[in-house]
Structure 1
Amino acid sequence: MKAESDVEGSPEAVFDAGLRRLRSLFGEGWAVEASPGHENPPADRYADIMIDIRTDSGQWARYVVDVKRSVTPRLVDYELAAKMRLVRQVHTFTSLLVMAEWISPKTQERLRNHGISYLDLTGNAWIRADRPAIFIYTEGASRAPRSAAQPSSAVTLSGSKAERLVRILADVRPPFRAGDLAKATSLSLPYVSRLLGTLEDQLLIRREGRTIHKVDWQGILRARAEHSHLLNLNPYSSYIAPNGHDYLLQQLQSPFISRHRIAITGSYAAREVAPLSVGGQLMLYIRPDHFNDELIDNLGLLPVKQGADVLILDAHDPVVFKRLRTVDGLPHVALSQLALDCLSGPGRLPAEGEAVLQSMAAHEEQWRDLDIDTIFDWYAS
């Protein structure tokens, strides 16, 4: 038997499962009944069906239910908010209730901001009414189950190609267009356009015509991190530094080592930006074709299967070496790359990533200083 979160995503299936879940939330003493609008043709039966919620004392609240295959923040702001206002104009005590297989945390926040109730089949729900006084809030899945419907044209933020676009959106001040981004990242224009459409649906970018004029760079970095994992994206080898991290860091500045493409990321780099903790593994990016036994010997590292205090990451894409920073004579990844790596890393790294984001926000004018006209083909090498 399928769980409710795995039902076929037709409007009928979503509504029926949602109605059962709604009844279970209210329990005894409440009547939760559906009454489809007779003015709608059968094909549109689930477009604006009504649900009445009644108490034993005879008080009742009415919801116009809008069943969606998928709900995005942009849909909330540009369609559902207007619908909510219209519903309230018709009857003050009637509200809008959105049902879907799954609703993302960002979309839930937008719905709550507009006073729109919602319920999904993974357990996320926010139901409000003024008369009778109703307030229900539950949390379900924070990530989309495999069964959840996605827009047919949606492109996700997974994969190395997406990271190129995310990095440039974070590092470069708008305005710019899709064509500018495609040229600068060496990605195809159709791919860039589709991914920008996904970001626009999530209100992570704003456009006027074809020109992007606003970018939520913190939101984009967090969204990218949700679709990737540092140690899955970059194959890694585990080592111990028997002579200690200080010796290893000194070796990184030697003439032989400095000829290799290496960059520090993870906790060590994060502490230089926003001190939050001590200790932890030292993570080093290296270009895969620069990785060899001679390099490891010169760094004084010994391979181990457990208890590693050094991880050597094979960089999944040249993008990780863009905008390297020199800190105390050592190469560190760019701030936007550091935030991505920490947010998508294991253990305490996500907390360190949030601290890095806070520091970046406080000093945005110091690092977000690039203009699109100066970096064509910047990501190509």
Structure 2
Amino acid sequence: MDDPTTPVEATGVLDLGTAALRTMLGEDWEVSVEPEPAPEPHGGDVGWDAVIRLTARHGNIFTELLVDVRTRVTPKEVAGHIASKALLVRRINHYTRLMIFAPWISPKTQEELRRRQIDYLDLTGNVSLRVTHPAIIIHTQGADRAPASHRAPSSKPMLTGPRAGRLVRLLADVKPPYRATDLAKSAGISVPYVSKLLDSLEEQLLIERDNKIVTRVDWQGLLRTRASSLDLAHHGDPVGMLAPMGIPAVIERLAQADGFVAGNEVLVTGSYAARPIAPIAVGGQLMLYTGRRDDAAMTRLTHELNLLAVPEAADVLLLSPWDQSVWHRPAQYDRYWQVGLSQLILDCLSGPGRMPAEGEKVLEFMADDEDFWRLEDLSLASRNRPFKSGPGVQELL
């Protein structure tokens, strides 16, 4: 066991995890815990905390799980010494498996464990166990976010808040390499904050670095992780509107206004922004980010777009950007201006209804041609309205 789990904590996780295994396997299996292995001389570590034996009550067939109990496990740890340990276990005995027990295991870490064929169990119900002899296959889904009682205090920033949003969009929109100082300058945030966040992203295998230089960004994983901490309906502070003449009439006015309505910058997001790129559905609410929300500006905007405020059954939602990064790299794929692709992904994946599915289709589009939308240099990221696309035309301005 390599992380700082106290004996009491380890015993609690081990006991609860073993009990969960007994429940899942049922009465046809006996689940027993072997005595804790003796430590190696001079304070060494044998590499696991317990041996759990699974024995079929009919046939006396058994397998052994070498259980590594941890309070916290990251994708980087899985890709490093945990993967090496699992490989060693398999070389010693093909029928013996290494299994990770923890209070909670993140989706990204679960994915890395499965990819490396390492079993795991957490106390929220995330379980993956595949044994060939005797045949046992268990896969259950638990919490995809850490329960409050399982959150370890950390000085590292998380992918929440406006500053993290600015950095996430920059990492997604611009191809590496770059340093923390370059990112901080471009995003307008402090170098220490950027450095700490990059440390956290490296632990999650969302970026790779070589001597402090970011060399690779898992931009899809990064956007998904950021979106999982957002709720568009909450963060966008939506104001419901009704379009008496229909949404097409509003779209027509937006197209004529070239992104500015009565002096108020307006960008389309959500379903109507996803549709020109990856059409999978029709209808839905028209979602608009508005640059100003004071009474006078909203009155002029709603008058120009012919909208009426309604308490329910709105077909247009006016959203408030909670950070200026929402306005970065807007795009024009149809006749109207809309949020940039990385912002569109964040909005769709954190939105209601079918919006997450639309976001996934846009992700496919982005993955098919990164050169179309990702910038080659950070100096280009500060340019406003750099993207315009029409039928048969794809042009960087």
TM-score (normalised: structure 1): 0.90
The offset of 1:189, in angstroms, is 1.8
Is the alpha carbon distance of 1:92 and 1:330 closer, same or farther for their aligned partners in structure 2, counting shifts above 3 Å? closer
2:11 aligned residue: 12
Does residue 316 (structure 1) correspond to residue 317 (structure 2)? The answer is no
Q: Which AA in structure 1 matches 2:51?
A: M
CA distance in 2, matches of 1:87, 1:347: 45
2:215 aligned residue: 213
Q: Deviations over 1:102-156 (max 9, x none)?
A: 1122222221222211111111211222332322222222222222234623422
1:345 aligned residue: 351
Q: 1:158 aligns with which of 143, 157, 160?
A: 160
Q: 2:365 aligns with which of 341, 359, 373?
A: 359
The 3-state SS of whatever aligns with 1:10 is: helix
Contact 1:180 1:376 in 2 (8 A): no
Q: Which AA in structure 1 matches 2:343?
A: Q
**Unpaired segments of 5 or more residues in structure 1?**
1-8
Contact 1:36 1:48 in 2 (8 A): no
Q: Which AA in structure 2 matches 1:175?
A: P
Task: Map 1:221-370 onto structure 2 (within 5 A).
Answer: 221-252=223-254, 253-254=256-257, 257=261, 259-288=263-292, 291-370=297-376
The 3-state SS of whatever aligns with 2:148 is: coil
Contact 1:186 1:377 in 2 (8 A): no
**Unpaired segments of 5 or more residues in structure 2?**
1-7, 385-397
Is the alpha carbon distance of 1:36 and 1:178 closer, same or farther for their aligned partners in structure 2, counting shifts above 3 Å? farther
Task: Map 1:90-129 onto structure 2 (within 5 A).
Answer: 90-129=92-131
2:20 aligned residue: 21
Aligned residues between the structures: 371
Q: Which AA in structure 2 matches 1:313?
A: L
CA distance in 1, matches of 2:48, 2:137: 24
CA distance in 2, matches of 1:217, 1:293: 39
Q: Deviations over 1:193-252 (max 9, x none)?
A: 222222212211111120111111111111111110112112121110112223223333
Is the alpha carbon distance of 1:92 and 1:292 closer, same or farther for their aligned partners in structure 2, counting shifts above 3 Å? closer
Q: 1:75 aligns with which of 71, 74, 77?
A: 77
1:3 aligned residue: none
Q: Which AA in structure 2 matches 1:34?
A: V
CA distance in 2, matches of 1:212, 1:124: 32
TM-score (normalised: structure 2): 0.87
CA distance in 1, matches of 2:60, 2:144: 36
The 3-state SS of whatever aligns with 2:205 is: coil
Q: Deviations over 1:274-302 (max 9, x none)?
A: 11111111111011356431222222111
Contact 1:185 1:377 in 2 (8 A): no
Is the alpha carbon distance of 1:150 and 1:241 closer, same or farther for their aligned partners in structure 2, counting shifts above 3 Å? same
Does residue 31 (structure 1) correspond to residue 30 (structure 2)? The answer is yes
Is the alpha carbon distance of 1:119 and 1:38 closer, same or farther for their aligned partners in structure 2, counting shifts above 3 Å? closer
Work out the percentage of aligned pairs sharing the same amino acid: 45
CA distance in 2, matches of 1:243, 1:133: 63
The offset of 1:79, in angstroms, is 1.6
